[in-house]
Structure 1
Amino acid sequence: MRTNQHPTIAITGSTGHIGGGVVEHLRGSGLPLRLVVRDAGRAPAGAGDVVEAPYGDRAAATEALRGAGVLFMVSASESADRLEQHLTFIDAAAAAGVRHVVYTSFLGAGPHATFTLARTHWATEQHLRASSMSWTFLRNSFYLDVFPLFAGQEGVIRGPGGDGRVGAVARADVARVAATILADASVHEGRTYDLTGPQALTLAEMARVIAQETGRATAYHDETLEEAYASRQTYGAPDWQVEAWVSTYTAIAAGELDVVTDTVERLTGTPPMSLADVLRSA
C-alpha cells in the first residue's frame, strides 16, 4: 500500500453507523486516517489520530481538517440549522486545504423533493459544487435498518405511504461503498452514485418481511395526511421535524424512492443486503 503517498483521509461520523462502518473497513488498510468527532471520548477504540470539531465551529473544523486531502462528510444530525452547519463545515474544509469531499447525500436530492430533508442535501451539494474542492456524492435511499424501528412496540408501521415502493439500502452497504471510494477517491471525482438495496418494496411488503423474519406480528397502516400529522403531534417536535417525518412517507407514495440500482455491487463486488438479510444479521 502506498501509505506515504496517500492523502490523509478525514472521516466524520465515526461514532455512528456509517462513519463507524467506514473506519472498520479501512482500519487495517494502512491508509492514514483522521477521525473528526464532537467528543473524543466516544471515538472508536484503538483510533489513533482523533480530533474534536463540531460542524458549526468553523475555526475548530479548519484546524481539525488541516493536512487532510480527502474528507468523508457524513451529513449532520437532523436539526433546524443542519444546512448552516453543512455550509460552515464545507467552508472550513476548503480553508484547510482539503482537495476532495465525499458526501452522504440523499436519493433524488433536489430543491423541490417531496422529502423535505432531501432539499437540504441538494443545497449542500450545490455548495460543494461551487467550492474549490472536487466532490463525490453518495445519494443513499432510506436506510433499510430503520423500517423495523418504525413499527415500534405495537408492531405497526404508520404513515401516508400508500402503495409506493422504496428501494431502501442497508447502512452496512453504504459504509462498504464509501470505504471503497475513499481508498482511491481520485477515481470517483465528480461522480454521483445512487445507492439502493436489491429490490423496491411497499411498506405492506416490508411489514410482512419483518413479521416473517422476527416472528413478531407487524402490519402497515396507510394513514391519511391528517392522521399522520395528528399522530406525530403528540411527540411535541418542532414543525420542521414533523414535516420531515411525514414527508418520509409521502415521498414513498409519490414514487420518488421507487429506484433500484446496481451501484453497490458494481463498486464493491458484493450484492446489496435485502431487508431479510438486515434482520438476520441483527
Structure 2
Amino acid sequence: MISDLIAVTGASGAVGGRVAARLARTGVPVRLLGRAPGRLPRLPGTAAAPPAAYGDGEAMRRALDGAHTLFLVSAHESPDRVTEHTTAVDAALAAGVERIVYVSFLGAAPDATFTFARDHWHTEAHVRMTGVRHTFLRDGWYLAGIPAMTGSDGVLRGPGGEGRVSAVSHEDIADSASAVLLDEGTDHDGATYDLTGPEAFTLAEAAEELSRHTGRTVRYVAETEEEAYASRAHYGAEDWEVAGWVTSYEAIASGELETVSDAVPTLTGRPATSLSTYLRDNPDSYRHLLPGS
C-alpha cells in the first residue's frame, strides 16, 4: 500500500471513474481531475482539483501540485490530442509528479492502421523522453463497444474483414490499472501491458454471440473502405473523426488488434472477461437489440 497522493484524470469517465472508485476504497489519498469539477464523482477520501484541461499547462500544473503519481487517461479524440497530452505530461513534471501511468492503445505505433493509435505512440514517446517513471496500459477495443456499435437493425457493420479483435472490459482495465497504481515498487517501471480479453474473435463471431444473448439474428456486414465511409457520412462528423472510426475496423482486418495477453490475469489474479461473460452480466448493453425494443 502507498500513502503518496495519486491524481486521477478522466474521473467522470468510464475508465477513470472506475479507477477512482477502486482507489478510494483502499484509503489512499486521491485527487480527481477534470475540466468540470462538478461532474466528478463524490467519493469518500477523494478531493477534486481546480478545473484543468490537458491543453492548459498552468491549470494542469496547479491541479497536480503535490501529487506523486498521475493516472493519465487519454483525452477525447481531436486533431490536437498529442499536444494536449504532452502539455499535460510536462505540467505534471513541473508540479513534481514522479510517476505516470498512461492509458494507451493496443498496437500503438507511428504507422498504426488505426489513426488514433498513432496519437498514443507519440504520447508514449514523449513520456519516455522525459525520463519520468512510467507504465503504459495498452487496451484495445472495449467489449462494451461490440453491442454499442451494432445497430437496432441487428447489423454490425465495418471493414473488419475476417480479422480478430481481443476486446477487453472496462472492469478489467480498471482492476489492472489499480493494481499497478497501488504497487509503489519498481516492477512496473518502464513496462507496457497489453490489456486484452482472453480470446480474439471475428466480428462475425461477435454477431453470433449477440444472437445467442438477444434471441434474434444479429449479422456482421463486412464493408469495403468506400462503403464504410459512405455509411457513416450521415453523422456529419469531421473527416479526421470518421477516419478514426473506419480505421479502427481496418486495424482488425490487418491483424493489429488480435493480440491476446496474460496481463489482466497476471495483474489482477483472476481471468480476463470474455465476450460471452460480458454479455451475460450486462444485459442493458444490448437492450436496443432485443425483440420489440
Quick one: distance in 2 between partners of 1:137 and 1:185?
15
> Unmatched 5+ residue regions in structure 2?
283-293
Paired residue secondary structure (2:68): strand
Q: Which residue does the alignment assign to 1:53?
A: 52
In structure 1, what residue type is equivalent to 2:76? Answer: S
Alignment partner, residue 150 of structure 2: 151
- 1:28 deviates by 1.9
1:38 aligns with 2:48: no
- Structure 1 residue runs of 4+, over 6 Å off? none
Distance between the aligned counterparts of 2:23 and 2:277, measured in 1?
23
| Unpaired segments ≥5 residues, structure 1 | none
Shift of 1:45: 2.2
Corresponding residue of 1:202? 202
Which AA in structure 1 matches 2:170? R
Percent identity, aligned pairs only, is: 52
Q: Which residue of 2 aligns with 1:129?
A: 128
Matched pairs, number: 279
- On the 8 A contact 1:214/1:279 being kept in 2, the answer is no
- Code of the residue aligned with 1:258 in structure 2: it is E
Q: Quick one: distance in 1 between partners of 2:231 and 2:135?
A: 38
Q: Does 1:165 align with 2:164?
A: yes
Q: Distance in 2 between matches of 1:46 and 1:169?
A: 26
What's 1:242 paired with? 242
Distance 1:59 1:175, change over 3 A: same
CA distance in 1, matches of 2:138, 2:29: 25
Q: Given that residues 70 and 185 in structure 1 are in contact (C-alpha distance below 8 angstroms), is that contact kept between their aligned partners in structure 2?
A: no
1:71 partner SS: strand
Counterpart-to-counterpart distance in 2, 1:142 and 1:189: 25
* AA of the residue aligned to 1:49: A
Partner of 1:120: 119
- Once the two structures are superposed, residues 161-202 of structure 1 have per-residue CA deviations (whole angstroms, 9 ceiling, x without a partner) of 110001111111000000011001443111100110010000
1:145 partner amino acid: A
User: TM-score, normalized by length of structure 1?
Assistant: 0.96
Other structure's SS at 1:28 match: helix
In 1, distance between residues paired with 2:31 and 2:10?
11
| Residue type of the alignment partner of 2:99 | H
1:107 corresponds to 2:79: no
Per the alignment, in what secondary structure is the counterpart of residue 125 of structure 1? helix
Q: Report the TM-score when normalising by structure 2.
A: 0.92
The counterpart of 1:9, out of the listed 6, 22, 30, is 6
* 2:288 aligned residue: none
Structure-1 separation of matches of 2:98 and 2:211: 47
1:81-139 CA deviation, whole Å, 9 max, x = no partner?
11111111111001111001000001110000001111000000000001141110001
Give the corresponding residue for 2:260: 260
Q: 1:185 to 1:121 in 2, by over 3 A?
A: farther
RMSD (CA atoms) = 1.2
1:5-60 deviations in Å (ceiling 9; x for gaps): x2100001111111111112111212111111111111112353101211111111
**What is the distance in 2 between the residues matched to 1:215 and 1:83?**
43
The alignment partner of 1:206 has SS state of: helix
Aligned to 2:228: 228
* Equivalent position of 2:290 in the other structure: none
